[in-house]
Amino acid sequence: MAIQEREPNNTMATAQNLFGLLPTGGTRSVTKTIEGSVSGADTDFFRFLPGNQATSKITITLTGTNSNFFLYRDANHNGQIDPGEFIDGTFGRASKTITLDGSGDNIYHVQVSKSGSAANYKLDITATPGLGSEREPNNSPSQAQDIGRLNGFRNFGGSVSSSDRIDYYRFRLDTNRDVSLSLNVKSSTTNAGLKLYRDANSNGRLEANELVATGTGSNDLIRKQLGTGDYFVEVAQVSGSVDYRLNMSALA
């Protein structure tokens, strides 16, 4: 059943909240369909999060003559459109689909406006569960793949080898959480190691006294109660060309 747009939703501050797209533990794609209209100086804003679990991709499709949509990622969670937060838009096309990597606990805003006379539109937002993918280059702390605030479950697939020895991921905690990390290696003839650091002085570099834990056991398991701050996860090749799955969770 379609969701009807609700006024006032003409600014980011009054954006209609679609909340999280995927429930924790969901295994099927979820689509939210929004129907609305814009005329005159009217513009509609909608706010959503990918969901409180691993989300492999988000697909957004706008259908409707004389309508535009623009997509923003509120990276700093300040409820405003800042430089660098615009992702893409339709720019007068009758329909368009944008596909996003679902990684990161980001807040997204969709803005719908008219490009001609009054317009009726349909907005479909689909979230697909599954593995996120590592994004190269992520071979140093300064290049770490930033997944934003870790809240719930996140899973990533990646690889390390003799020519690409280390992958880094970065996340933050805004409150105390029980954090679990595990590294599953697909082949028994290869191996990789897992380490967790806390960037205590916020300098973006990993120092010896910032090591929090090293993975133990066959799945390089790390379980710790952690406080607020910025954290780095290091996946390092030990032997062979390693395909891995990194599982991360932060629960209250």
Mind listing the pLDDT tens digit for each residue in 214-252? Answer: 998 777 999 999 999 999 999 999 999 999 999 888 887
CA pair distance 155, 26, nearest whole angstrom = 13
Contact, 235 vs 158, CB < 8 A?
Answer: yes
Report in angstroms the alpha-carbon separations of 176 from 41, 229, 240: 44, 9, 37
Contact, 184 vs 219, CB < 8 A?
Answer: yes
CA atoms in the 13 A half-sphere facing the CB of 246: 27
Average of per-residue pLDDT across 98-124: 80
Please tell me the least confidently modeled range out of 50-54, 59-63, 190-194, 203-207. 50-54
| Residue 158 pLDDT | 93
Domain boundaries, the chain: 3-129, 132-251
Fold: same for 3-129 and 132-251: yes
CA pair distance 147, 132, nearest whole angstrom = 10
DSSP run (H or E) holding 138: none
pLDDT at 104 over 60: no
- Rounded CA Rg of the chain: 20
Distant-in-sequence contacts of 210-216, Cβ < 8 A, 24+ apart = 215/181, 215/182, 215/183
pLDDT single digits (tens) 182-197: 999 988 889 999 999 9
Q: Report the first-to-last Cα separation within the chain, whole angstroms.
A: 33
Q: Which fold has domain 132-251?
A: Jelly Rolls (2.60.120)
Degrees, nearest 5: CA angle 79-81-86: 130
CA pair distance 233, 198, nearest whole angstrom = 9
pLDDT at 94 over 70: no
Mean pLDDT value across the chain? 87
Average of per-residue pLDDT across 153-163: 89
- Which residue from 109, 103, 223, 101 is spatially nearest to 151, judged by alpha carbons? 103
| Residue 242 pLDDT | 95
CATH number of 3-129: 2.60.120.380
Check whether the bond before 129 is cis (ω within 30° of 0). no
